[in-house]
Amino acid sequence: MTSLLPVAARELVMTPGRRIILLLGVPVSLALLAWTCYSIISTSAQGQYTVSYSPVPISGGLAMNVYGGNVTLQGGVPASAAQFTGTGTVWYGLTYSGQRPTLATAQTPAGTRINFACPGGNCALSSNVNVPPQVPVTVTSNGGDITATGLSDATLQTGGGNLTVDGLTGNVSLNTDASPNGPYGAGGNVNGTLAAQNITADTGGASVDLQLSTPPANLDITTEGGNVTLQLPAGYRYHVDNVAAPSPGFGGPVNPSTITVSTTSSSQYRITVNAGGGAVTID
């Protein structure tokens, strides 16, 4: 039987397939429209402001955790000048009301503890810390860069940022790996000078470039594919291990190793390098 409806009307007849398309398509379209509008408004409403914190005296050891931002550490200052100072930047938008970040400090039997946290996660703190001589330091920046000069016995972790050191002594641990338990590296570079005896460095895929002014008792480096460049004091013989480690699972060739220092398995100065296929230079 021929339909008497106009062609346009016949095209609008609701079939089961069209009903399904409407049921699925309309909510999705509305959600996309709402998200687009929200993103436009949110971007236009974003801004930032800064907050400053009163100096915090440092006594004894220092344990410091910063949610985000760069940290500069200066060791060897007079005890009367030992202090922490910081200025935070807060970003805000529709999803964040711009609460003031919290800076919590405490004096413990082990020394000064400082913790900087961000409600909602939209802030960073650029901080400077002056530390007296022979004060052990533990600092985590959670993604920001760390610059450290003249410290003794330091544990420094950036969580993905770069780490620059100058003249650190004693026991030193340097870690820039942002995903230490993950299958792939995601870290920052480690570079600078050291005069430490026991040193560990882990970059999670980035490079290590260190110059040592005294021969280390133990130097252990892991880069997961990053290149390693070490300059060691001349006139000593070193026990060097694990330099030609296999490439990390991608079938690529192991990069060349160049070792020009004198080596012997009986040396008291032990160098262990796990580069995961990265190029290694030790001279």
Cβ–Cβ under 8 Å, residues 256 and 228 = no
**Quick one: three-class SS letters along 89-152?**
EEEEECCECCCCCEEEEEEECCEEEEEEECHHHCEEEEEEEECCCCCCEEEECCCCCEEEECCE
C-alpha gyration radius of the chain = 28
Please tell me the distance from the alpha carbon of residue 70 to that of residue 86, in angstroms, as a whole number. Answer: 10
Q: What does the pLDDT read at residue 138?
A: 98
Residue numbers of the chain with a pLDDT score lower than 50 = 5, 7-10, 37-44, 250-251
Q: What does the pLDDT read at residue 40?
A: 43
Q: What does the pLDDT read at residue 170?
A: 97
Q: What does the pLDDT read at residue 36?
A: 52
Q: What does the pLDDT read at residue 11?
A: 52
**pLDDT (tens digit, 9 = 90+) per residue, 218-253?**
999 999 889 999 999 999 999 998 776 555 554 455
CA 116 to chain centre: 16
Which of left, alpha, beta for 208 (phi over 0: left; psi -120 to 50: alpha)? beta
**Which residues, including other chains, have CB under 8 Å from residue 174's CB and lie 6 or more apart?**
156, 163, 165, 190, 199, 200, 201, 202
Q: How far are the Cα atoms of 49, 65, 93, 124, 281 from residue 119, in angstroms, in the given order?
A: 15, 15, 13, 11, 44
Cβ–Cβ under 8 Å, residues 58 and 129 = yes
Helices (H) and strands (E) in the chain, counts: 2, 21
Question: DSSP character for 253?
Answer: P
